Structures are given as structure tokens and as C-alpha cells.
Amino acid sequence: MANSFEIIVRVGISTKSFSDAVEQAVKEAAKEGTVNWFKVEEHRGRVLPDGNLEFQATVNIGRKLN
């Protein structure tokens, strides 16, 4: 299985930016093992009760299987 990968899906959330939301998702996944690549599937957001914005990014994260 030298050329096989598993894909996990994470949603990163940030009040700073979409790119920060992606970074949060990848960093969290990296705590559990090596991250070989990632692909952003969706950007979305919401308006918080205080009027600030929340950025959300759905990210597919690939890990090489041994």
C-alpha cells in the first residue's frame, strides 16, 4: 500500500480569515499524525450575535498509509 492514502475531513473555524480556518484544520489533524496534503472543499461563514464574522472551511486531509 505504498501509494495509498486515507482522507479525513475537518472543519476549521476562525474569526480572523478563511485561510486561518484552513490552517486550524490542518494543524489539528497534524497533532494526530503526518499530513501529506490537503484540499479545501468548501468555504462558508456566519454572522455571530455580536456582529463579528466566523469563517469556516471544510478541508480534506490526506495521509499516506504504510
The enclosing domain of 29 has a CATH number of: 3.30.1660.10
pTM: 0.88
Query: Domain limits at 14?
Result: 5-64
Give the CA count within 13 Å in the CB-facing half-sphere of 25. 28
Domain count, the chain: 1
Among 24, 14, 10, smallest CA distance to 46 is for 14
> What percentage of the chain exceeds 90 in pLDDT?
92
Helical (H) or strand (E) element with 53: strand 53-64
Residue 43 has pLDDT above 70, yes or no: yes
Question: In the chain, what is the straight-line distance between the N-terminal and C-terminal CA atoms, in Å?
Answer: 6
Counting every residue, how long is the chain? 66
- Local confidence band at 48 (pLDDT 50, 70, 90 cut-offs): very high
